[in-house]
Structure 1
Amino acid sequence: MTDPLSQYRPNVGVVLFHPDGRVWYGRRANTPGPHNWQFPQGGIDEGEDDEAAARRELFEETGVTSADLLAQTQEWIAYAFPADYGGTKRARGFAGQKQKWFAFRFTGDESEIDLEAHGEIEFDAWRWAPLEDAPDLVVPFKREAYQQVVALFAPLVV
């Protein structure tokens, strides 16, 4: 039996919780609205530990290193790329992405947040907002995955 997610790129997603229970959203650079806000996410490098990948992506996209692990998903949460999606991942033969999700509590000062920390700008703005807003902010093809993440991490909201 073949793995139904074998054509999906291994990826991590990060929900960064503020101590007051709100979560961090980044606005995707060079992406028109209204559905251009999302959580940090990115690929898992060959041989890389899932949590290490999540912490690396969090730093690369936000500059944040001050974060305590709260929870993580055990199963993959996947989404397919739409037929008209012209991204480089589809060009490399991926049908979508399968993600392990991590929840971290931010323990630093907001001055640590640096969208240019890694040089490659993923986000051009950021904000704290309620977790339950996530499915309405993200591009529609990621919406179902974000609904699953919200349901799983909702108990972590203070």
Structure 2
Amino acid sequence: MTAPDTLPYRPCAGVMLLNRDGQVFVGQRLDNVLEAWQMPQGGIDPGEEAEAAAVRELWEETGVTADKVTLIAEAPDELFYDLPPEMIGKVWKGKYRGQRQRWFLFRFEGDDRDIRIDTPHPEFRAWRWAAPAELPQLIVPFKAQLYRDVLAAFATYLPDPHLPAPHGSGDVSQAG
């Protein structure tokens, strides 16, 4: 087996989708038995721009179309995570040790009915809106630092976690 530290990182784009109440879209993956929730993200195709990949992945995973979002910000740097040792060689055909990601913050301009996780190739079994501060606790543990880094990158655009949410707690579960 190839030494993990010699493997490259998979290029990827991620989306923090923020609703009008300052809450973030998270989906519960179909292929994960853990109670983990994650933001939309996926690979950047060869020759594809990172922002275009982010919009494509958002549509592929949530059904949200480009006309329902407005770009707020792009994280200034690529963010990285490593797979746990037991997963290296089992995902992505063993070609990568983790991901290097470009993250984008989009404002969701649509309504909840515009979110359709029953896409042609579904990745999520359920979705909900979550408070940004919850994100590191919702994701699989090996991505928690990545999510803290995403929060730090977009901190100036996110609601103050010490203030009450504009229209509720954000813990309303929604299934697709």
- Asked if the contact 1:26/1:124 (under 8 Å) is kept, the reply is yes
1:48 aligns with: 48
Runs of at least 4 residues of structure 1 off by over 6 A?
none
Partners of 2:127 and 2:62 lie apart in 1 by 9
Alignment of 1:1-158 (within 5 A): 7-34=8-35, 36-65=36-65, 66-85=68-87, 87-89=90-92, 91-117=93-119, 119-158=120-159
Partners of 1:100 and 1:5 lie apart in 2 by 22
Aligned residues: 152
Which entry has the higher C-alpha Rg, 1 or 2? 2
Gaps of 5+ in 1: none
TM-score (normalised: structure 2)? 0.81
Partners of 1:98 and 1:30 lie apart in 2 by 21
- Between 1:25-34 and 1:107-116, the stretch displaced more is 25-34
1:5 is displaced (CA, Å) by 9.3
1:74 is displaced (CA, Å) by 2.8
Counterpart amino acid of 2:83?
Answer: F
Q: For the aligned residues, what is the CA RMSD?
A: 1.6
Partners of 2:127 and 2:6 lie apart in 1 by 31
Partners of 1:136 and 1:77 lie apart in 2 by 18
- Asked if the contact 2:75/2:154 (under 8 Å) is kept, the reply is no
Counterpart of 2:59 in 1: which secondary structure? helix
Counterpart amino acid of 2:97?
Answer: A
Partners of 1:128 and 1:87 lie apart in 2 by 31
1:92 is displaced (CA, Å) by 3.5
Counterpart of 1:38 in 2: which secondary structure? coil
Report percent identity of matched pairs: 45
- Asked if the contact 1:5/1:98 (under 8 Å) is kept, the reply is no
Counterpart of 1:47 in 2: which secondary structure? coil
